Structure 1
């Protein structure tokens, strides 16, 4: 030890003081300055006045003893090493000294210079090591991240101050308890998956949602690391969680804002197509008003009106889903369906001078992702491609399975070896100059005139793809076009959610149905459709009237179909009231708006949800489902596979 040690000796016998001084003068591995105090009071005063590296305390100190001094300085928070000196060996004194916080116990008359030097050196080294640990613990407590450690059975062994602030539970309270008991609202199955992964792979990264002690939900970006001992044996798991709740909310707001910008750039094309669709409807109505129209022309006019209305409804539904689509959970997705939906929307909204083509593998692997965000990736790339072809051209959307090998992965920073689905968007436009190709994914970078683009489209693409664990490659030749390839990690063994399937037309058998809607045209059209399907229909234009009808015709009404957006009493309130009064009557909720309304209706007590606009076939199928227990229009997403419970 290069730095001289300040050593305090509290000893009431001067001869013993000189003996200790002489022994320390022979030390070869430490340098020290010895300070002597002859009484309990003087020793305590010296310790309170200034710091020392080590304190040597005689067991006998007149009216007091060394153990009393030791207990006093420990109670005052002094942590320096204390070595107790005694005139004779006594096992009881030895045990009491260790219990009181002494670092060593030496017997006078048996001490030699080497033993005293070794005891002091070990005490100082151990104390410095513990000081470093305390400093590191203080740094961990000062960290904003939640930091905790668990043993291999999932029981808490360390818990920093940020974890205390998040949960409202102190380290002492959670010590030794399983994680699901101390992190409220956490997914125990996901915890089990994380523990298995970290013990197998050494690391696990993911997001965990927990409840704060005030009931607020927080999202933690969690990193788990397996800690091993000097022999490589697993000992514990270090868990660091960063609160990303606000960041995720801002990202979602940013993505929605950018999505609305893309929709704004499609509006002109959409308006043109809607106007075209209204023409056959208006002309067809005029034709049907003629009494002299023969049956064949009447049927043709009706078919023309129906096809135009269905195309218009489909166009509005797709644009609305894209504009208002909420970022959902990551589930296995059928990429083919997403590409086909985007291609259909593009054909309806892009100029006819742009030829839309698709090329899709027959058996695409599912990808784990958010359908709305992946649709936004394709839309952003396609809108940019459209802007690059003002005179028209060819736009290709393709999807294929690819296997990224380790050699290719080493050449692409974000890539990892494994199976991917590659989405390609290729155009024959003006291309991208080589000198700006490395800047195109930067936020707000754009070559378009002011007011023609925010420069957020490609940065949004990059952000979404990275969040899905994928990467983007781009190739462009000025004057010949650009090709963007989006690589998304695939899950070949997963099963994608099943798409909507065609259903037969079901008919009623005189069952009473209460139809509630504040729009007279919708109410009248739906009533006519239900009566033609064989149902007896009762109508109401708002919630209170519906409850009166339900009471007046209690024995006849077998089901209720209600709109959600109505004045005075809205649909959700009506559903709850019906569930309280007539829990035996199934309720179908209906709305032309999205954004979580189906889930809200389900929570209120609705048995099914019917998106507006709907056909008579869909209306019949949903009603038959709730009355007779047949399958609905869409199959429910399969429940997650059962996993072992948390220890």
Structure 2
């Protein structure tokens, strides 16, 4: 396949080899090459091309073949010197020629119509400008041109200027000679006053401006003058003339610069500055040419100076100003200019620049176009074949096509059947192109494979050809099969449906299992309108996530489903790819989570109650400690029966208060007070016995159904017993109030998971209304009359069970009364050995003890109890005082409050730990605040024994002797 490329017709070229035979053509020449293909010699092609022109180099071209041959010879003879030629349709082109590397000749034609149009515009402006202007040769003075304004001023008709000289219009011939001398000396003169005369001899005083330049090898003078008869008007017109002259220079498409005899810049136009933009900052009148050369080299402007700037500058300076014509100059930024330098008779020179970057790029593109196209095709991984439409003979194939099909001669050999190619060509001829045409082809090994063809009709050397790109679909089909297998194996329902009709295009087995063998997606919906709403969202957004809707499963049962889908285009249609989730299990889980949140809400309420009770109890602890302690001490010392009776009443009342406070603290505490292995059945029996003493209902029975095989639990037996008693009493009161029911049953057993003991308290009474069931564990909530209940009984039960790590709830499904269920974790500890009698340590008398408490009465009570046990006791009411006493004395026992001003319990503990470590194991805390975060942190960290207020003498003795016994055992 011969090389060819399609480019802009503004540039065209043709190349002939050394024998004059056509070797290569582009643009308009390529068309001509087809026309004269039978006689594709140089003269034939050039004559055929020049037949479109009527003049060349300002000379008319005749209509005969000899005329065109002469024009072709002129074209060839001006190598390197372009010729302007006008076409018959009014367009202009620049014709040039140059030798080719193979000894032949390259002919180039470039469209310059736009430039000629600018020239015509310039000529129009000059002709119609009101300022008198003329052009004359400097050597002979011959007037070459005079505009209308000049003709009017001097009363001369245009056709009367032939053979006239400029000196004829000067009043004094010497003035003409002097003006020409100055002009040759300086290259230009401005505002020179001179007397001139009209054609009739009338004196005309003018002020003129003139510029010496070159055109077509002749030195010419551009003149502009102003009539000075009216001075003011003359000055204004002079300014206009000067501006007009500069404007004329500025209007040139070429860059223009004038240097004087000292090689200094005199004037230049904006185009010249643009072409030298890299040094535009230094371009000013007076700039020395040598400085300009050095600076351009330093800034790396000229491509041929890069890397050897100093050598390049030296060479230019040594050679001086070189007068050249159309020298090709390349800048490092890729621009290219034709530069001409013309000397002036006054010693200066004129530089003109023409930007030929686009022309050079076009020429390079023309040369490289074919190579680029071939390189692209050769490198393409897609098989590309160009073959004749008729017989299928292959005119070109790229390496990928050769690799796929082998080097067969005709494309017909690719097809399984000749009819397959006929169908393909028929489809292609209908529209001139075909895309993604599916068919089966044969590869180089003779194996058939699925393919997709993309074809285009084209014309090559006068005949129709088809250019086809082939895609082997083998891997694609295998991938599609794999994707189908993946989708069919996907454990979630996946389907593709037509968005408009709902027809199923694909569904996975999971979809069939969920919905059954339904063919239309609309049949899934309980409400057909729901699908339309879903489709509207898809069309608006293109996607849907977690769209909740009621659907029908394969059994026709309603269920809530969640649809996630994407709207795509498939085979020219809107298709929905979707996944449906059955929300039945998820909704059940949400219901369960809702129940758990409600339970958490109850726990939060209990925490609020705990904080309230802890605050109240803490404030009562200190005074109760005093009342309880002193009443018990008085009871131990009193002998008078009357006094004993009164003391016992006081003591009973105080102990009752203390029990209430401790109950409050137990409800508020996050952890139980005394955890040990506990027999659940034993504490149930105790609770039933206690509750039975207080029964007030006639015929009311309390039964026990106890599993004797259940394991122990880790618990505070007293607290769990109180919980059971509360539940029994509540059931008794409900039965009595309603007058319905007569039996309460308490049973035990293992939970289903066997990791917890289950206690059930149920009755056959009126039950709990559904509308209040969720609130029964709320603090202070009660259905009893004012004065009959406080609303903290069940709240207390809730707190105690949760502090043991267990759960308590009402069985809402029990309809024969009410049923409370308690679950407590099974114990994993072996039973501890029974403790030895603490009285064995009471012989540790004489031990010196330090009591620290900011409540004076509490400190004195503790001191009095210990003194009676034989201890020597010192008191301190602040932490600072205690620290001082520790420095002064040696103590065998330290009992301290936690919350004190100044040095508190923590501060005192740190002093003992750091300065008196031997005393640390004989240190204990007596406090009314075990609920505070700081207090709990200290008790955990110190591992010291502690006693909660209010304090009884027995509890205090047990604490003290327990500490002293532990020390003895360790010793």
Q: TM-score, normalised by structure 2?
A: 0.32
Larger Rg: 2
Greater relative CO (CA pairs within 8 A, separation 6+): 1
Q: TM-score, normalised by structure 1?
A: 0.45
